Structure 1
Amino acid sequence: MLGLTGLEIGMMIVAAIIIGFSKTGIQGATIPAVALVAIIFGGKASAGIMLPMLMFGDLIAIYQYGKQGKFSDVLKLLPAAVVGIVLGAIAGNYLDDRQFKMLMGIIVMVCLALLIYREVTKRVLRVPDHPVFHWGVGAISGFSSMVGNAAGPIFNVYLLTQELTKNKMIGTTAWFFFLMNLIKLPFHIFMWGTITWATFRYTLIMIPFIAFGAVLGIKLVRKINEVWYKRIIMMMTAIAALRLFM
């Protein structure tokens, strides 16, 4: 089907379930899905194939949690994220992917170390409420999202410092990534050529599996308390950071 082997179809189904689950459940869990799709299609092509799938998952999360999202955080970061996306689109054909991922891994691990310190010492970690800081986080998120789908860990670290409830975290994340992914869409279609009618068929076929994963995520979130929810995100972020070094 669609030129894929049975094993590859199975990998796509697993990736679709993970995408849905990550959008309504554990943020950062998309990393295994990114890896699976990249194995099938390669790095750059897989980014285009995954984008519509991620956007569908974002819409489900917005429907479920969008009203609880902290839109002020989205607005603080979005303008800089647009700049990062544009730079990422331009650099995408020339960037040394391995070097970039190693740099992102270092950034994420440093941020994660600060969060672990906060949890151990029970001190609230305050981030500077300054336009320069917000622009830095937004630009890094946009650039890394466009080039390597690595924005999740950075944004997770930023949100975890905001002392939000889990539902507000999911809602804020859903809005931020849906708007970023919407901005990325024309670059994938017209500049990189990684989204076509042929590649969009994969999204259409995977919609039921993305929805299934989203339902699993919604049910799981209801059963996890605030402390363990944040700890799980930290663990997923650590796994994501380690993957960036590979």
Structure 2
Amino acid sequence: MQILELPPFAWALLGFAAVLIGLSKTALPGVNTLSIAIFAAFLPPKESTAALLLLLIVGDIFALISYRRHADWKTLIKLIPAVAGGLGVGALFLAFADDTWVRRAIAVILLALVLYAVWQRIRTHKNPTKPRQQTEGSAIARAGYGSLGGFTTMVANAGGAPMSLYFLSAGFPVKAFLGTAAWFFAIINLVKVPIMASLGLFIPEVLSLALLTVPGVVVGAILGRWIASRIQQRSFEYAILLFTALGAIYLFF
């Protein structure tokens, strides 16, 4: 890879992708799935995953600064076993599996989850008092979303989509949603660093690319804080569903 020899339009797209990463951390979780497609267009799949991880960690710092006091730790602790299992399976896939079919499988799963979330919202529209605990307390929901979140975040840094759908179905308001997601991904992304390092993915070109695109993450994170303080709950939820669906389509193709 000759990262520094990329054409100007490539750098423009990579910078835009970095902005989306910052935006996803402080306002719209799931939108960074579009960043995955952009980075994968200019880097080999596994190296693009490593570069994105470094930028995501920078975004995590801004998310924790903004929403660290709003996390639901009870939910996070219950997710640990399923997520750990998903991370383990994802690490094996990252080491041995073909990137193309794995990402397409992830895309199909994400689209199915979006359709399920939409159906769930339509079904519960007539019963707005449905308690959050029905979803949050479901062992099946935790196992499904948690393992999928661990797997997708390990393979393609796409864990934001399934976990956003889980937190959405749990009925979190905006700040509780963002605070819980902030701690979840800050911890998960740090766990992934030694795994990717052991696979030899943090090569000099990857580190250089991450360093040069960090300013975009900062800009996106600041913009996201401004948006989060003004966005309405319903608009927030619809945006998550929309960006998750768009990201899944990008992953598939």
Query: TM-score, length-normalised on structure 1?
Result: 0.90
Sequence identity (%): 27
Alignment check: 8 A CA contact 1:47 1:148 kept: yes
RMSD: 2.0
| SS in structure 2 at match of 1:2 | helix
For residues 24-74 of structure 1, give each alpha carbon's deviation from its aligned partner in whole angstroms, at most 9, with x where no partner exists: 111111022111111111211100111110011011001101110112222
Instruction: Please name the residue that 1:64 is paired with.
Output: 66
User: d(CA) in 2 for partners of 1:138 and 1:74?
Assistant: 10
Instruction: Please name the residue that 1:165 is paired with.
Output: 173
Q: Which amino acid letter does the alignment assign opposite residue 24 of structure 2?
A: S
Instruction: Please name the residue that 1:190 is paired with.
Output: 198
2:25 counterpart of 1:18: no
- Deviation (angstroms), 1:165: 0.5
Label 1:127 to 1:106 Cα distance change in 2 as closer, same or farther (>3 A): farther
Q: Which amino acid letter does the alignment assign opposite residue 26 of structure 1?
A: L
User: d(CA) in 2 for partners of 1:88 and 1:114?
Assistant: 23
Alignment check: 8 A CA contact 2:17 2:34 kept: yes
Label 1:243 to 1:209 Cα distance change in 2 as closer, same or farther (>3 A): closer
For residues 184-240 of structure 1, give each alpha carbon's deviation from its aligned partner in whole angstroms, at most 9, with x where no partner exists: 11111112x111344223222222221111111111112211111111111112212
Instruction: Please name the residue that 2:101 is paired with.
Output: 99
Alignment check: 8 A CA contact 2:23 2:223 kept: yes
Instruction: Please name the residue that 2:148 is paired with.
Output: 140
Q: Which amino acid letter does the alignment assign opposite residue 244 of structure 1?
A: L
Query: TM-score, length-normalised on structure 2?
Result: 0.88
User: d(CA) in 1 for partners of 2:26 and 2:59?
Assistant: 8
| Runs of 5+ unmatched residues, structure 2 | none
- Deviation (angstroms), 1:158: 0.6
| Runs of 5+ unmatched residues, structure 1 | none
2:223 counterpart of 1:208: no
| SS in structure 2 at match of 1:26 | coil
Instruction: Please name the residue that 1:234 is paired with.
Output: 241
Label 1:88 to 1:35 Cα distance change in 2 as closer, same or farther (>3 A): same
Q: After the TM superposition, which parts of structure 1 deviate over 6 Å for at least 4 consecutive aligned residues?
A: none
Aligned with 2:56 (options 47, 54, 57): 54
User: d(CA) in 2 for partners of 1:15 and 1:105?
Assistant: 19
**Equivalent residue pairs, number:** 245
